[in-house]
A and B are shown apart, each in its own frame.
Chain A
Amino acid sequence: MTLYFTKDHEWLRVEGETATVGITKHAAEELGELVFVETRDSGTVVKAGDSVAVVESVKAASDIYAPVDGEVLDNNPQLSDDPARVSSDPEGEGWIIKFRLSNPEQLAALMDADAYAAFIA
Chain B
Amino acid sequence: MSADTLLHTPLYTLHTEAGGKMVPFAGYAMPLNYADGIMAEHRHVREHAGLFDVSHMGQVRLRARSGGGEAAAHALERLVPADMVALKNGKQRYTQFTNEQGGILDDLMVARMGDSLLLVINAACKDADIAHLRAALTDCEIEVLDDRALLALQGPEAEAALAVLAPAVRDMKFMDVLEVDVDGTPCVISRSGYTGEDGFEISVPVTEADRVARKLLEQPAVKLIGLGARDSLRLEAGMCLYGSDIDETTTPVEAALEWSIQKSRRRGGARAGGFPGADVILAQLEEGVSRRRVGLLPEGRAPVRGGAPLYADAAFTTPLGKVTSGAFGPTVEAPVAMGYVATDHAAPHTPVVAELRGRAVAATVHTLPFVAARFKR
A residues bordering B, Cβ < 8 Å? 32-33, 35-36, 38, 54, 56-61, 80, 83
* Contact size range, B: 20 to 34
Interface string of B328-347 (1 = CB under 8 A from A): 10100001000000000000
- CB neighbors of A among B16-44 (8 A): 32-33, 37-40, 42
19 contacts between A and B (CB under 8 A): A32-B38, A33-B40, A35-B39, A35-B301, A36-B301, A38-B302, A56-B302, A56-B303, A58-B38, A58-B42, A58-B232, A58-B303, A58-B327, A59-B32, A59-B231, A59-B327, A60-B305, A61-B303, A80-B301
User: In the complex, A113 Cα to B7 Cα: how many Å?
Assistant: 37
Instruction: Note all chain A residues with C-beta closer than 8 A to B301.
Output: 35-36, 80, 83
Asked if B377 is at the interface (CB within 8 A of a chain A CB), the reply is: no
* B228 in the interface (beta carbon within 8 A): yes
Which of A59, A61, A83 has most B Cβ within 10 Å? A59
**In the complex, what residues of B have CB within 8 A of residue A83's CB?**
301
> With A56-B303, A58-B42 as given contacts, are A36 and B33 in contact (CB-CB < 8 Å)?
no
- Contact status B302-A57, CB under 8 Å: no
Give the CA-CA distance A56 to B327 in the complex, in Å: 9
Closest Cβ–Cβ distance, residue A63 to chain B (whole Å) = 10
Closest B residue to A59 by CB, please name it. B228
Residue-wise, chain B 289-304 has the 8 Å CB interface mask toward A (1 for contact) of 0000000000001110
- Would you give the shortest CB distance from B150 to chain A, in whole angstroms? 22
Rounded to whole angstroms, the CA-CA distance of A101 and B38 in the bound complex is 36
Q: Give how many A-B residue pairs fall within 8 Å (CB-CB).
A: 47
Q: Do the beta carbons of A36 and B37 come within 8 Å of each other?
A: no
CB pair B302–A58 under 8 Å, yes or no, is no
Contacts of A54 in B (CB 8 A): 357
Q: List 12 additional contacts besides A33-B38, A58-B42, A80-B301; criterion CB under 8 Å.
A: A32-B33, A32-B38, A32-B228, A33-B37, A33-B39, A35-B301, A35-B328, A38-B357, A56-B303, A57-B328, A58-B228, A60-B305
The answer to whether B302 and A36 touch across the interface, beta carbons within 8 angstroms, is: yes
| Among B32, B39, B229, B335, residue most surrounded by chain A Cβ atoms (within 10 Å) | B39
Residues of B within 8 A of A (CB): 32-33, 37-40, 42, 228-229, 231-232, 301-303, 305, 327-328, 330, 335, 357
Establish whether residues A58 and B305, one from each chain, have CB atoms under 8 Å apart when the complex forms: no
CB <8 Å contact, A59 and B38: yes
Docked pose: A71 CA to B228 CA in angstroms: 36
Complex CA gap A54/B356 in Å reads 11
A109 → chain B, closest Cβ, in Å? 28
- Report if A32-B39 is in contact (Cβ < 8 Å); known contacts: A56-B302, A58-B327, A59-B327: yes
B357 touching A58, Cβ below 8 Å: no
**Separation of A86 and B55 alpha carbons in the complex (Å):** 35
Task: With a 10 A CB-CB cut-off, give which of A57, A58, A61 has the most chain B CB atoms.
Answer: A58
Closest to B42 in A: A58
> Could you tell me the distance between the alpha carbons of A36 and B299 in the complex, rounded to whole angstroms?
13
Name the contact of A56 in the complex, choosing from B228, B229, B328 (C-beta under 8 A).
B328
Q: How far is the CA of A83 from the CA of B328 in the complex (A)?
A: 12
CB distance from B57 to the nearest CB of A (A): 20
Closest Cβ–Cβ distance, residue A71 to chain B (whole Å): 20
Task: State the Cβ distance, B332 to closest chain A Cβ, in Å.
Answer: 11
Name B302's closest neighbour in chain A (CB-CB): A36
Q: How far is the CA of A61 from the CA of B356 in the complex (A)?
A: 11
- On chain A, the residues within 8 Å of B32 by CB distance are 59
Residues from chain B with a CB closer than 8 A to the CB of A80 are 301
Contacts of A61 in B (CB 8 A): 303, 305
A36 in contact with B39 given A56-B328, A58-B330, A59-B228 (CB within 8 Å): no
What chain B residues lie within 8 Å of A38 (beta carbons)?
Answer: 302, 357
Q: How far is the CB of A58 from chain B (nearest CB, A)?
A: 4
Top 5 closest pairs, chain A to chain B, by CB? A35-B328, A32-B37, A58-B38, A33-B39, A36-B301
Q: Complex: how many Å from CA A35 to CA B327? A: 10
Using Cβ atoms and an 8 Å threshold, which residues of chain A touch B357?
38, 54
**Complex: A60 Cα to B32 Cα, angstroms:** 12
Question: How far is B301's CA from A38's CA once the two chains are assembled, in angstroms?
Answer: 10
From known contacts A58-B327, A59-B327, infer whether A35 and B33 are also in contact, taking CB-CB under 8 Å. no
Separation of A71 and B22 alpha carbons in the complex (Å) = 38
**What CA separation (Å) do A67 and B364 show in the bound complex?**
37
CB distance from A23 to the nearest CB of B (A): 15
Shortest Cβ distance from A86 into chain B, in angstroms? 13
Query: In the complex, A83 Cα to B302 Cα: how many Å?
Result: 11
